[in-house]
Structure 1
Amino acid sequence: MWVWLAVSFSALLHINAAYRGPQWQFYLFKPLTIVLLLATTLQFGHGDIYQQWIIAGLLCSVAGDIFLMLPKDKFVPGLTSFLLAHIVYSLAFWNELSGPIVWWLPALLMGAGIIVYLLLLPSLGRLALPVGVYIGVIIQMTWAAGEYWLTTRTGSGLAAFAGAMVFLVSDTLLALDRFRGRFRAATGSIMTTYYLAQSLLVVSVLLR
């Protein structure tokens, strides 16, 4: 209970600082929130390979957070860090399948991904290929999480799928804000969904 209050408080402090300052609070609590989730996973996980993959994804996410919040925004290194995070999360999910996969889920997710990519494409310029690859990887990660839930019907699988879906929403909001025009509620919406997504992935470890 207390650890989730700490995570929520840390996330709230970061989001508040994004709008009102101070700057040190913005820089401190963005990665600290994920570090708290990482510590929770290390302390309460069961030491299996699934936990190890989620830990690796959280570490990549901390690196991505740091790159994206630097005064001189390192977007490509940040994108690469989160790309690696989604890959290792995918490995965690695919490793848990215990039955035949379904094909309607990737079809739906791919259709949504293509629509988002086409909306972004006119503004992407030289980032068209990296962003396209990133969208493909996160769609695949969400598919993997969905298969984990559909083939196991466990609480862990449901938390993983919910986390992946919320991550998809968060990254879509981030892309729209960055490439289609900024909006005031962007930071609050992006970071709330981002922290919720990562928290759900940690819950998927704790429910095993």
Structure 2
Amino acid sequence: MWVWLTILFSGLLHINAAYRGPKWQFYLFKPLTIVLLMCLMWQHGLTSFYQQAIFAGLAFSVVGDVFLMLPRDRFVQGLAGFFVAHVIYSIAFWSQLSASMVWWLPAMLFGGGVIVFLLLLPSLGKLMAPVALYIAMITQMAWAAGEFWLTTQSMIGMVAFAGAVMFMVSDTVLAVNRFRGPFTSATAIVMTTYYLAQALIVGSAIL
């Protein structure tokens, strides 16, 4: 319980610093929150392939976080870090399937991904290809988590899928804020859903 409270407090300090400062608090607590989740997993033990994959995904998420928060624009590098994280998460989720896949789920998820891409398209410019690839990957990751849940009917699968959906919400709001125009509450929404997504994915590995 205390570890989870520490993680929550770290995330709140980052969100608060994004609006009120100081800068050092903003830079410290964004990656530290994910590092604390990694420490939680390490303490719990990385005994299965699923746990090891989630741990590796968190590590690449830290890389993405660092690039995205740098003063100079490192959006593509940050995108690449999270792209790799989603590849690893996907492998973890697909490894847990135990029955035939459900085909209505990818149709629904990829339909939503196409809508988001079309919404962003007029403002993407040279970033059209990287953003399209990223949307495809995170949608595929959510599909993998959804299949994990639907084929196993397990609490672990449900928690993983909830985390994947929160990740999609976070990245969608981030993209709208960046490409369609910034709005005040964006950072709070993006980071709250992001930390919740990572916490749920970690939860699926230690339940």
Instruction: Report the TM-score when normalising by structure 2.
Output: 0.99
2 CA distance for matches of 1:202 and 1:68?
22
Tell me the CA shift for residue 43 of structure 1.
Answer: 1.0
Structure 2 counterpart of 1:76: 76
Q: CA RMSD in A?
A: 0.6
> 1:145 matched to which residue of 2?
145
1:29 alignment partner in structure 2: 29
- 1:159–1:204 CA contact under 8 A, matched in 2: yes
1:38 alignment counterpart:
38
The reply to whether residue 163 of structure 1 matches residue 166 of structure 2 is no
**Structure 2: which amino acid aligns with 1:202?**
V
Q: Using the alignment, how far apart are the partners of 1:129 and 1:186 within structure 2?
A: 24
Q: Which of 42-51 and 128-137 deviates more?
A: 42-51
Show structure 1 runs of 5+ residues with no match: none
Shift of 1:37: 0.4
Is residue 60–residue 82 contact of structure 1 (8 Å, CA) maintained in 2?
yes
- Matched with 1:96 is 96
Counterpart for residue 189 of structure 1: 189
Give the structure 2 partner of residue 133 of structure 1: 133
Q: Report the equivalent of 1:86.
A: 86
Which shifted more, 194-203 or 149-158?
149-158
Distance 2:102 2:149 in 1: 11
Write the deviation string for residues 31-62 of structure 1: whole angstroms up to 9, x where unpaired. 00000001111111451000010011000000
Decide whether the 8 Å contact of 2:116 with 2:172 is kept in 1.
yes
Query: SS at the partner of 1:184?
Result: coil
Matched with 2:109 is 109
The answer to whether the Cα contact below 8 Å between 2:93 and 2:148 also exists between their aligned partners in 1 is yes
TM-score by length of 1: 0.98
Q: Which amino acid aligns with 1:5?
A: L
Instruction: Return the offset for 1:73.
Output: 2.1
Would you say the 8 A contact 2:149–2:157 is kept in 1?
yes
Give the letter for the 1:136 counterpart: A
How many residues are treated as equivalent by the alignment? 207
Structure 1 runs of 4+ aligned residues shifted over 4 Å read none
Amino acid at match of 2:147: E
The aligned counterpart of 2:10 is 10
In structure 2, stretches of 5+ residues that fail to align are none
1:45-60 → structure 2 map (5 Å cutoff): 45-60=45-60
**2 CA distance for matches of 1:151 and 1:73?**
41
Quote the residue 1:202 is aligned against.
202
Q: Which residue of 1 aligns with 2:64?
A: 64
- Taking the aligned partners of 1:189 and 1:102, their CA distance within structure 2 comes to 31
The answer to whether the Cα contact below 8 Å between 1:160 and 1:204 also exists between their aligned partners in 2 is: yes
Contact 2:46–2:52 (CA under 8 A) maintained in structure 1: no
CA distance in 1, matches of 2:144, 2:80: 20
- Partner amino acid for 1:23? K
- Give the counterpart letter for 2:179 in structure 1: F
Partner deviation per Cα, 1:111-159 (whole Å, 9 max, x = no partner): 1000000000000000001000000000000000000001111111111
